[in-house]
Amino acid sequence: KFIPLMLLICLLLSSAAPSAAALEEPSLVAKQVVLVDLDTGRVLYSKNAEAQVSPASLTKIMTGLLAVEAVERGEHTWDEMVTAGADCRQGMDESSSTAGIMPGETLSYKDLVYCAMLPSANEACNILGTCISGSISAFVDLMNQRAAELGCEDTHFENPNGLTADGHYSTAYDM
């Protein structure tokens, strides 16, 4: 008799508890944002999520993905030694983020991926692109193909590193 009485009291007390209120819209500095529940795919919050903007160094996410996938397919190995070609600094200027890799220098594939992803080295992205696809332009084609496969409908790459270029864009939703 005691347990049902306690459950009834708990039920009555819980009905008197205040209900949850919706949170206020967050104050963000970002111009574009999207928050998605990855389990359900439900968009929880978005602000200009479909606006096409330069992805800048977020471009390197695709470069890194393609580099890892090439290893997973057995096309390249982490220990493979790669020599930087004459075009490794293509599109870069003095203010570009770099690891200081120069044409003719040899690094492991793994070190190139680390250089691309950690210090955001633009030349490492170019070197990886040439290593994976034979040329930077062929790698950019592969980037766009993979983006389409992933459902990125509002993304177009012009280079493997994110340096500003006409026609190089993405959205918060695609990213």
Chain segment 102-135, per-residue pLDDT in tens? 999 999 999 999 999 999 999 999 999 999 999 9
31 is catalytic: no
- Which pTM value belongs to this model? 0.82
97 is catalytic: no
Please, which pLDDT band fits residue 12 given cuts at 50, 70 and 90?
A: confident
Catalytic residue among 46, 54, 57, 135: 57
Query: What distance in Å separates the CA atoms of residue 64 and residue 105, rounded to the nearest whole number?
Result: 20
Identify the bridge partners of residue 35 per DSSP, sorted by sequence position.
45
The count of residues in the chain is 175
Question: What pLDDT sits at residue 43?
Answer: 92
60 is catalytic: yes
Query: What distance in Å separates the CA atoms of residue 119 and residue 45, rounded to the nearest whole number?
Result: 31
Of 135, 115, 134, 138, the residue nearest 125 (C-alpha):
115
